[in-house]
Chains A and B, each alone.
Chain A
Amino acid sequence: MSSMTASLKNLREKPWIWSYLGMLVVWLATISFTGGKGGGDVITAALSFATFTVIVGIGQMFVITTGPGNVDLSIPANIALSGAVAMKVMGGENEMLLVGFAASMGCGLAVGIFNYSLIRVLRIPPIIATLSASFLILSTAIAYGRGLKIKPPLLLSDFTTLQIAGIPVLALFIIVVATVMSVVLNRTLYGRSVLAIGQNMRAAWLAGINVERIRFATYVLSALMAALCGFLLAGFSGGASLNMGEEYLLASIAVVVIGGTSVAGGKANVPGIWGAALFMFMLVTMLNTFGASAGIRLIMTGLIIVAVITIAGGDKPER
Chain B
Amino acid sequence: MKRYLTNPKFLRSALPAASLLVLLAAIFYIQPRAMSQFGMNLMLQYAVPIALATIAQMFIITVNDLDLSIGPFVGLTACIGATLLNTNPLLGVLALLACIAAYAALGALIHWRNLPSIVVTLGMSFVWLGIAVLVLPTPGGTAPDWVKAIMSFKVPGIPFPLIAAAIIAVVVHFALMRTSYGAVLRGAGGNPKAIGRAGWSLLKTKMIMYAAAGFFGVLAGLSLIGLTSAADAHIADRYTLYSIAGVILGGGEFVGGRVSPTGAVLGALTLTLTGSFLIFLKISPDWQIGAQGGILILVLALRALINRREAQA
Q: So, do A and B actually touch in the complex, CB under 8 Å?
A: yes
| Cβ < 8 Å to A, chain B residues 265-313 | 284, 286-294, 296-297, 300-301, 304, 307-308
Encode contact with A along B102-133: 1 for CB under 8 Å, 0 otherwise. Answer: 00000001000111101110111111111111
A313 CA / B116 CA spacing, docked (Å): 9
Asked whether, in the complex, the Cβ of B116 is within 8 Å of the Cβ of A264, the reply is yes
Chain A residues with Cβ below 8 Å from B115 are 309-310, 313-314
Alpha-carbon separation in the docked complex, A140 to B288 (Å): 11
Residues of A within 8 A of B122 (CB): 250, 253-254, 305
Are B120 and A306 closer than 8 Å at their CB atoms?
yes
Bound: A316/B111 CA distance, A: 11
A131: Cβ under 8 A from any B Cβ: yes
Given known pairs A69-B254, A118-B297, the reply for A131 and B244 (CB within 8 Å) is yes
| Bound-complex Cα distance A302 to B66 (A) | 17
CB pair B125 A302 closer than 8 Å: yes
Interface string of A114-139 (1 = CB under 8 A from B): 00001001111101100111111011
Contact with A136, one of B66, B113, B119, B290 (Cβ below 8 angstroms): B290
Q: Which of A69, A257, A315 contacts B255 (CB 8 A)?
A: A69
Of the candidate stretches A5-13, A100-108, A177-185, A293-301, the one touching chain B is A293-301
Q: Which residues of the partner chain B approach A257 to less than 8 Å between Cβ atoms? A: 116, 119
B127 touches A298 (CB 8 A): yes
Chain B min CB distance to A234 (Å): 20
Determine the residue in chain A with the shortest Cβ distance to B249.
A128
Q: Are A132 and B293 in contact (CB under 8 A)?
A: yes
Do A250 and B125 contact each other (CB < 8 Å), given the known contacts A136-B293, A138-B290, A263-B116?
Answer: yes
CA distance A302 to B121 in the complex (A): 9
Residue of A whose beta carbon sits closest to that of B285: A142
Select from chain B the residue with minimum beta-carbon distance to A315.
B114
Closest chain A residue to B300, Cβ basis: A124
Set B116, B128, B287: member contacting A143, Cβ < 8 A: B287
A195 CB within 8 Å of chain B = no
* Contact with B127, one of A124, A131, A299, A314 (Cβ below 8 angstroms): A299
A125 to chain B: which residues have CB within 8 Å? 248, 254
Q: Is B193 close to A, CB under 8 A?
A: yes
Q: Scan residues 283-319 of chain A and give those whose CB is less than 8 A from a CB of chain B.
A: 293-306, 309-310, 313-316, 318
CB of A37 within 8 A of chain B? no
For A144, the closest partner residue in chain B by CB is B286
A295 lies within 8 A of B123 (CB)? no
Chain A's nearest CB lies how many Å from the CB of B188? 14
Q: Are A128 and B118 in contact (CB under 8 A)?
A: no
Q: List 23 A-B contacts (CB under 8 A).
A: A128-B244, A131-B241, A131-B245, A131-B293, A132-B300, A138-B289, A139-B289, A139-B293, A142-B286, A143-B286, A250-B126, A253-B122, A257-B116, A295-B131, A295-B133, A296-B130, A298-B127, A299-B127, A299-B130, A301-B126, A304-B123, A306-B124, A310-B115
